[in-house]
Protein backbone atom coordinates (compact mmCIF):
# COMPACT_ATOMS: atom_id res chain seq x y z
CA UNK A 1 0.00 0.00 0.00
CA UNK A 2 2.77 2.40 0.94
CA UNK A 3 4.52 1.73 -2.38
CA UNK A 4 1.29 2.14 -4.26
CA UNK A 5 0.71 5.53 -2.66
CA UNK A 6 4.21 6.78 -3.50
CA UNK A 7 3.99 5.40 -7.01
CA UNK A 8 0.66 7.06 -7.74
CA UNK A 9 1.92 10.35 -6.38
CA UNK A 10 5.02 10.22 -8.58
CA UNK A 11 2.98 9.18 -11.55
CA UNK A 12 0.67 12.18 -11.21
CA UNK A 13 3.65 14.50 -10.73
CA UNK A 14 5.20 13.25 -13.98
CA UNK A 15 2.04 13.41 -15.98
CA UNK A 16 1.23 16.91 -14.73
CA UNK A 17 4.41 18.15 -16.42
CA UNK A 18 2.93 17.32 -19.77
CA UNK A 19 -0.53 18.71 -19.05
CA UNK A 20 -0.19 21.81 -21.19
CA UNK A 21 -3.69 23.18 -21.18
CA UNK A 22 -6.68 23.36 -18.88
CA UNK A 23 -8.70 20.55 -20.52
CA UNK A 24 -5.66 18.26 -20.12
CA UNK A 25 -5.37 19.28 -16.49
CA UNK A 26 -9.06 18.62 -15.86
CA UNK A 27 -8.79 15.14 -17.38
CA UNK A 28 -5.91 14.33 -15.03
CA UNK A 29 -7.73 15.56 -11.98
CA UNK A 30 -10.68 13.31 -12.86
CA UNK A 31 -8.45 10.34 -13.59
CA UNK A 32 -6.99 10.41 -10.07
CA UNK A 33 -9.69 11.93 -7.94
CA UNK A 34 -13.06 11.21 -9.51
CA UNK A 35 -15.32 9.93 -6.74
CA UNK A 36 -16.38 6.79 -8.57
CA UNK A 37 -13.31 5.68 -10.51
CA UNK A 38 -10.36 7.87 -9.58
CA UNK A 39 -7.07 6.02 -9.21
CA UNK A 40 -6.41 7.58 -5.81
CA UNK A 41 -10.00 7.07 -4.71
CA UNK A 42 -9.86 3.42 -5.62
CA UNK A 43 -6.58 2.91 -3.82
CA UNK A 44 -7.88 4.45 -0.64
CA UNK A 45 -10.91 2.17 -0.75
CA UNK A 46 -8.52 -0.72 -0.21
CA UNK A 47 -7.64 0.66 3.24
CA UNK A 48 -10.65 -1.21 4.59
CA UNK A 49 -9.05 -4.56 3.86
CA UNK A 50 -5.97 -3.84 6.02
CA UNK A 51 -5.57 -4.95 9.63
CA UNK A 52 -6.39 -2.22 12.10
CA UNK A 53 -2.82 -1.17 13.08
CA UNK A 54 -1.65 -0.83 9.49
CA UNK A 55 -4.89 0.83 8.44
CA UNK A 56 -4.25 3.72 10.87
CA UNK A 57 -0.73 4.29 9.59
CA UNK A 58 -1.69 3.98 5.97
CA UNK A 59 -4.69 6.21 6.54
CA UNK A 60 -2.42 8.99 7.80
CA UNK A 61 0.04 8.47 4.95
CA UNK A 62 -2.87 8.43 2.51
CA UNK A 63 -3.99 11.85 3.74
CA UNK A 64 -0.51 13.30 3.40
CA UNK A 65 -0.10 11.93 -0.08
CA UNK A 66 -3.52 13.22 -1.03
CA UNK A 67 -2.62 16.74 0.16
CA UNK A 68 0.61 16.66 -1.79
CA UNK A 69 -1.12 15.46 -4.93
CA UNK A 70 -3.83 18.10 -4.63
CA UNK A 71 -1.32 20.86 -4.15
CA UNK A 72 0.69 19.62 -7.14
CA UNK A 73 -2.53 19.77 -9.15
CA UNK A 74 -3.36 23.27 -8.04
CA UNK A 75 0.18 24.52 -8.61
CA UNK A 76 0.00 23.28 -12.19
CA UNK A 77 -3.37 24.90 -12.66
CA UNK A 78 -2.08 28.28 -11.52
CA UNK A 79 0.85 27.87 -13.84
CA UNK A 80 -1.43 27.10 -16.79
CA UNK A 81 -3.67 30.07 -16.05
CA UNK A 82 -0.67 32.35 -15.68
CA UNK A 83 0.68 31.06 -18.97
CA UNK A 84 -2.57 32.03 -20.64
CA UNK A 85 -2.19 35.61 -19.42
CA UNK A 86 1.47 35.64 -20.28
CA UNK A 87 0.63 34.64 -23.85
CA UNK A 88 -1.92 37.44 -23.96
CA UNK A 89 0.64 39.91 -22.72
CA UNK A 90 3.10 38.67 -25.30
CA UNK A 91 0.78 39.33 -28.24
CA UNK A 92 -0.22 42.69 -26.84
CA UNK A 93 3.21 43.87 -25.89
CA UNK A 94 4.42 47.15 -27.32
CA UNK A 95 7.67 47.02 -29.13
CA UNK A 96 9.24 50.30 -28.13
CA UNK A 97 11.95 49.88 -30.74
CA UNK A 98 9.49 49.65 -33.66
CA UNK A 99 9.55 52.57 -36.12
CA UNK A 100 6.76 55.00 -35.22
CA UNK A 101 3.82 56.02 -37.38
CA UNK A 102 3.37 59.68 -38.21
CA UNK A 103 1.40 61.28 -35.34
CA UNK A 104 -2.34 61.68 -35.84
CA UNK A 105 -3.39 65.24 -36.44
CA UNK A 106 -4.36 66.85 -33.12
CA UNK A 107 -7.20 69.23 -32.62
CA UNK A 108 -6.71 72.64 -31.05
CA UNK A 109 -8.73 75.47 -29.61
CA UNK A 110 -10.94 77.67 -31.76
CA UNK A 111 -9.69 81.26 -32.16
CA UNK A 112 -12.79 82.50 -30.32
CA UNK A 113 -11.88 80.27 -27.37
CA UNK A 114 -8.36 81.70 -27.33
CA UNK A 115 -9.57 85.27 -27.13
CA UNK A 116 -12.23 84.34 -24.59
CA UNK A 117 -9.72 82.67 -22.26
CA UNK A 118 -7.31 85.59 -22.57
CA UNK A 119 -10.06 87.93 -21.45
CA UNK A 120 -11.15 85.59 -18.69
CA UNK A 121 -7.59 85.70 -17.35
CA UNK A 122 -7.58 89.47 -17.40
CA UNK A 123 -10.96 89.82 -15.69
CA UNK A 124 -10.37 87.21 -13.02
CA UNK A 125 -7.12 89.04 -12.20
CA UNK A 126 -9.28 92.10 -11.51
CA UNK A 127 -11.58 90.15 -9.20
CA UNK A 128 -14.37 89.33 -11.63
CA UNK A 129 -16.36 86.11 -11.44
CA UNK A 130 -17.13 84.23 -14.65
CA UNK A 131 -20.81 83.43 -15.10
CA UNK A 132 -22.90 81.51 -17.57
CA UNK A 133 -26.49 81.84 -18.70
CA UNK A 134 -28.90 79.91 -20.90
CA UNK A 135 -28.73 80.33 -24.67
CA UNK A 136 -32.42 79.51 -24.94
CA UNK A 137 -33.77 82.39 -22.90
CA UNK A 138 -37.18 83.60 -21.85
CA UNK A 139 -38.54 86.65 -23.58
CA UNK A 140 -38.75 88.19 -20.15
CA UNK A 141 -35.03 88.00 -19.36
CA UNK A 142 -33.85 88.72 -22.88
CA UNK A 143 -36.02 91.81 -23.34
CA UNK A 144 -38.35 92.95 -20.55
CA UNK A 145 -35.96 92.51 -17.66
CA UNK A 146 -33.36 94.64 -19.43
CA UNK A 147 -35.84 97.40 -20.02
CA UNK A 148 -36.99 96.53 -23.54
CA UNK A 149 -40.80 96.33 -23.31
CA UNK A 150 -42.76 94.42 -25.93
CA UNK A 151 -43.80 97.49 -27.87
CA UNK A 152 -40.39 99.15 -27.79
CA UNK A 153 -38.72 99.83 -31.16
CA UNK A 154 -35.41 98.54 -29.69
CA UNK A 155 -36.80 95.04 -30.17
CA UNK A 156 -36.47 95.54 -33.90
CA UNK A 157 -32.70 96.01 -33.53
CA UNK A 158 -32.37 92.54 -32.12
CA UNK A 159 -34.64 90.19 -34.00
CA UNK A 160 -33.99 86.61 -33.08
CA UNK A 161 -35.18 83.03 -33.45
CA UNK A 162 -38.36 81.96 -31.75
CA UNK A 163 -39.22 78.44 -30.76
CA UNK A 164 -42.19 76.83 -32.48
CA UNK A 165 -44.99 76.18 -30.01
CA UNK A 166 -43.19 78.11 -27.24
CA UNK A 167 -44.08 81.74 -27.86
CA UNK A 168 -42.21 83.13 -24.88
CA UNK A 169 -38.83 81.55 -25.45
CA UNK A 170 -36.14 83.01 -27.68
CA UNK A 171 -32.55 82.33 -28.58
CA UNK A 172 -30.89 85.09 -26.58
CA UNK A 173 -29.80 88.05 -28.67
CA UNK A 174 -27.17 89.25 -26.21
CA UNK A 175 -25.56 88.26 -22.93
CA UNK A 176 -27.26 91.14 -21.09
CA UNK A 177 -30.12 89.00 -19.65
CA UNK A 178 -27.50 87.39 -17.42
CA UNK A 179 -27.12 90.80 -15.71
CA UNK A 180 -30.55 90.37 -14.16
CA UNK A 181 -30.13 86.66 -13.55
CA UNK A 182 -26.85 87.34 -11.76
CA UNK A 183 -28.30 90.11 -9.60
CA UNK A 184 -31.23 87.89 -8.63
CA UNK A 185 -29.02 85.00 -7.80
CA UNK A 186 -25.95 86.58 -6.22
CA UNK A 187 -27.15 90.01 -5.15
CA UNK A 188 -24.81 92.93 -4.64
CA UNK A 189 -21.99 93.85 -4.62
CA UNK A 190 -21.13 91.97 -7.79
CA UNK A 191 -18.32 91.95 -10.32
CA UNK A 192 -18.87 89.45 -13.10
CA UNK A 193 -18.29 88.70 -16.74
CA UNK A 194 -20.43 86.50 -18.94
CA UNK A 195 -18.84 85.18 -22.09
CA UNK A 196 -21.30 83.41 -24.34
CA UNK A 197 -23.03 82.66 -27.57
CA UNK A 198 -25.82 84.85 -28.88
CA UNK A 199 -28.13 84.71 -31.85
CA UNK A 200 -29.66 87.19 -34.24
CA UNK A 201 -32.06 86.78 -37.08
CA UNK A 202 -29.82 88.54 -39.58
CA UNK A 203 -29.29 88.51 -43.29
CA UNK A 204 -25.69 87.34 -43.03
CA UNK A 205 -22.82 89.17 -44.69
CA UNK A 206 -19.09 89.53 -43.91
CA UNK A 207 -19.88 91.58 -40.80
CA UNK A 208 -23.10 89.93 -39.64
CA UNK A 209 -23.74 86.40 -38.57
CA UNK A 210 -26.75 84.65 -37.01
CA UNK A 211 -24.54 83.23 -34.25
CA UNK A 212 -21.99 85.38 -32.46
CA UNK A 213 -20.09 85.60 -29.21
CA UNK A 214 -20.23 88.41 -26.70
CA UNK A 215 -18.62 89.05 -23.38
CA UNK A 216 -20.82 90.90 -20.94
CA UNK A 217 -19.45 92.72 -17.93
CA UNK A 218 -21.35 93.84 -14.85
CA UNK A 219 -20.18 95.71 -11.77
CA UNK A 220 -22.67 96.85 -9.14
CA UNK A 221 -21.75 98.30 -5.77
CA UNK A 222 -22.14 101.49 -3.78
CA UNK A 223 -20.60 104.54 -5.41
CA UNK A 224 -19.66 103.01 -8.72
CA UNK A 225 -19.16 105.76 -11.29
CA UNK A 226 -18.64 106.22 -14.96
CA UNK A 227 -14.90 106.64 -14.40
CA UNK A 228 -14.69 103.07 -13.12
CA UNK A 229 -16.27 101.94 -16.36
CA UNK A 230 -13.83 103.96 -18.38
CA UNK A 231 -10.90 102.61 -16.39
CA UNK A 232 -11.92 99.02 -16.98
CA UNK A 233 -12.53 99.53 -20.66
CA UNK A 234 -9.15 101.22 -21.12
CA UNK A 235 -7.49 98.35 -19.31
CA UNK A 236 -9.18 95.87 -21.64
CA UNK A 237 -8.21 97.85 -24.74
CA UNK A 238 -4.56 98.08 -23.71
CA UNK A 239 -4.47 94.44 -22.77
CA UNK A 240 -5.76 93.51 -26.20
CA UNK A 241 -3.98 96.01 -28.44
CA UNK A 242 -1.08 97.49 -26.50
CA UNK A 243 -0.27 100.35 -24.14
CA UNK A 244 -0.63 103.11 -26.72
CA UNK A 245 -4.25 102.21 -27.45
CA UNK A 246 -6.81 104.92 -26.77
CA UNK A 247 -10.49 104.52 -26.02
CA UNK A 248 -13.21 106.78 -27.36
CA UNK A 249 -16.68 106.72 -25.85
CA UNK A 250 -19.58 108.31 -27.68
CA UNK A 251 -23.19 108.50 -26.57
CA UNK A 252 -25.34 105.66 -27.81
CA UNK A 253 -28.76 104.46 -26.84
CA UNK A 254 -29.17 101.07 -25.22
CA UNK A 255 -32.39 100.64 -23.24
CA UNK A 256 -30.62 98.93 -20.33
CA UNK A 257 -28.05 101.64 -19.61
CA UNK A 258 -28.26 105.35 -18.86
CA UNK A 259 -26.14 107.04 -20.00
CA UNK A 260 -25.09 104.62 -22.71
CA UNK A 261 -22.03 104.71 -24.92
CA UNK A 262 -20.50 102.93 -27.78
CA UNK A 263 -16.83 102.27 -27.34
CA UNK A 264 -14.11 102.44 -29.89
CA UNK A 265 -10.38 101.89 -29.70
CA UNK A 266 -7.66 103.35 -31.89
CA UNK A 267 -7.04 101.05 -34.78
CA UNK A 268 -4.26 98.63 -33.90
CA UNK A 269 -3.05 98.62 -37.48
CA UNK A 270 -2.76 102.31 -38.36
CA UNK A 271 -2.83 103.72 -34.79
CA UNK A 272 -5.49 106.22 -35.76
CA UNK A 273 -4.23 107.36 -39.16
CA UNK A 274 -6.92 105.55 -41.10
CA UNK A 275 -6.62 102.30 -43.04
CA UNK A 276 -8.56 99.43 -44.55
CA UNK A 277 -9.18 97.66 -41.21
CA UNK A 278 -10.80 100.72 -39.59
CA UNK A 279 -12.43 101.87 -42.83
CA UNK A 280 -10.30 105.03 -42.83
CA UNK A 281 -11.77 106.28 -39.54
CA UNK A 282 -8.83 105.44 -37.27
CA UNK A 283 -11.25 103.81 -34.77
CA UNK A 284 -12.64 100.36 -34.24
CA UNK A 285 -15.94 99.82 -32.50
CA UNK A 286 -15.68 96.92 -30.09
CA UNK A 287 -18.23 97.37 -27.33
CA UNK A 288 -21.38 98.93 -25.98
CA UNK A 289 -21.48 100.10 -22.38
CA UNK A 290 -23.06 102.41 -19.84
CA UNK A 291 -24.37 102.84 -16.32
CA UNK A 292 -26.90 100.14 -15.46
CA UNK A 293 -30.43 101.49 -15.87
CA UNK A 294 -32.41 101.76 -12.60
CA UNK A 295 -35.12 99.55 -14.12
CA UNK A 296 -32.59 96.77 -14.64
CA UNK A 297 -31.36 97.03 -11.05
CA UNK A 298 -34.95 96.94 -9.87
CA UNK A 299 -35.66 93.88 -12.02
CA UNK A 300 -32.69 92.22 -10.33
CA UNK A 301 -34.08 93.04 -6.88
CA UNK A 302 -31.53 95.78 -6.18
CA UNK A 303 -32.47 99.23 -4.89
CA UNK A 304 -31.15 101.80 -7.42
CA UNK A 305 -31.13 104.53 -4.79
CA UNK A 306 -28.53 102.62 -2.85
CA UNK A 307 -26.55 100.87 -5.53
CA UNK A 308 -25.33 101.73 -8.96
CA UNK A 309 -23.09 100.08 -11.47
CA UNK A 310 -21.93 99.77 -15.01
CA UNK A 311 -22.26 97.17 -17.70
CA UNK A 312 -20.56 96.58 -21.00
CA UNK A 313 -20.87 94.14 -23.86
CA UNK A 314 -17.74 93.30 -25.80
CA UNK A 315 -18.23 91.86 -29.26
CA UNK A 316 -16.09 88.78 -28.78
CA UNK A 317 -16.45 87.63 -32.37
CA UNK A 318 -15.47 91.09 -33.49
CA UNK A 319 -12.35 91.02 -31.32
CA UNK A 320 -11.41 87.67 -32.81
CA UNK A 321 -11.78 89.05 -36.33
CA UNK A 322 -9.60 92.01 -35.50
CA UNK A 323 -6.97 90.01 -33.70
CA UNK A 324 -6.51 87.47 -36.47
CA UNK A 325 -7.41 89.80 -39.36
CA UNK A 326 -10.35 87.64 -40.40
CA UNK A 327 -12.23 89.41 -43.16
CA UNK A 328 -15.52 87.53 -42.92
CA UNK A 329 -17.24 86.75 -39.61
CA UNK A 330 -18.98 83.75 -41.15
CA UNK A 331 -15.71 81.80 -41.23
CA UNK A 332 -15.93 81.46 -37.46
CA UNK A 333 -19.01 79.24 -37.65
CA UNK A 334 -18.22 77.14 -40.72
CA UNK A 335 -16.13 74.43 -39.10
CA UNK A 336 -14.14 74.49 -42.34
CA UNK A 337 -10.74 72.95 -41.62
CA UNK A 338 -9.03 75.05 -44.26
CA UNK A 339 -9.94 78.02 -42.09
CA UNK A 340 -9.59 76.47 -38.64
CA UNK A 341 -6.20 74.87 -39.13
CA UNK A 342 -4.63 78.30 -39.58
CA UNK A 343 -4.83 79.06 -35.87
N1 LIG B 1 -26.23 94.00 -25.09
C2 LIG B 1 -25.74 94.99 -25.99
C3 LIG B 1 -25.74 94.44 -27.41
O4 LIG B 1 -25.89 93.28 -27.60
C5 LIG B 1 -24.34 95.44 -25.62
C6 LIG B 1 -24.31 96.18 -24.31
C7 LIG B 1 -24.11 95.50 -23.14
C8 LIG B 1 -24.45 97.55 -24.25
C9 LIG B 1 -24.08 96.16 -21.91
C10 LIG B 1 -24.42 98.22 -23.07
C11 LIG B 1 -24.24 97.55 -21.89
O12 LIG B 1 -25.60 95.18 -28.34
For residue 71, the CA-to-ligand 1 centroid distance in Å is 81
Closest ligand 1 atom to Cα of 313: 7
Q: Which domains, ranges and CATH numbers included, belong to the chain? A: 2-91 (no CATH), 112-340 (3.30.930.10)
- Minimum-distance ligand 1 atom for the alpha carbon of 157: 12
Please, which pLDDT band fits residue 25 given cuts at 50, 70 and 90? very high
257 lines ligand 1 (CB under 6 A): yes
- Establish whether residue 311 lines the binding site of ligand 1, counting it when its CB lies within 6 angstroms of any ligand atom: yes
State how far the Cα of 310 lies from the Cα of 293, in Å rounded to an integer.
9
Q: Comparing 86-90, 178-182, 196-200, which segment has the lowest mean pLDDT?
A: 86-90
- How many CB atoms sit inside 10 A of residue 23's CB? 9
Q: What is the pLDDT of residues 182-211, one digit of tens each?
A: 999 999 999 999 999 999 998 888 888 999
Q: Would you say residue 174 has pLDDT above 80?
A: yes
Residue of 343, 325, 323 lying closest to 245 (CA atoms) = 323
* 176 close to ligand 1 (CB < 6 Angstrom): yes
CA 251/CA 254 separation, integer angstroms: 10
**How close are the terminal C-alpha atoms of the chain, in Å?**
87
**pLDDT confidence tier of residue 87, bands split at 50, 70 and 90:** low
Average confidence score pLDDT of the chain: 91
Q: Would you say the CB of residue 290 lies under 6 angstroms from ligand 1?
A: yes
pLDDT in tens, 223-262: 999 999 999 999 999 999 889 999 999 999 999 999 999 9
Amino acid sequence: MRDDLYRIKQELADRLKTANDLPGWEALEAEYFSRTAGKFTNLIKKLKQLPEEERKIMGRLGNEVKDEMLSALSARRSFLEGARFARLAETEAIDVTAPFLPPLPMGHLHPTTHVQSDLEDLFTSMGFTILDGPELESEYYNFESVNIPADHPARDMQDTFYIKGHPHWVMRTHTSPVQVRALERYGVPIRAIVPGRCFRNEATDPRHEHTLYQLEGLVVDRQITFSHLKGILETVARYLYGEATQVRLRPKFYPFVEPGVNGEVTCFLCAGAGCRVCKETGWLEIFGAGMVHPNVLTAGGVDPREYQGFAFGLGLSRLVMLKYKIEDVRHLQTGDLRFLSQF
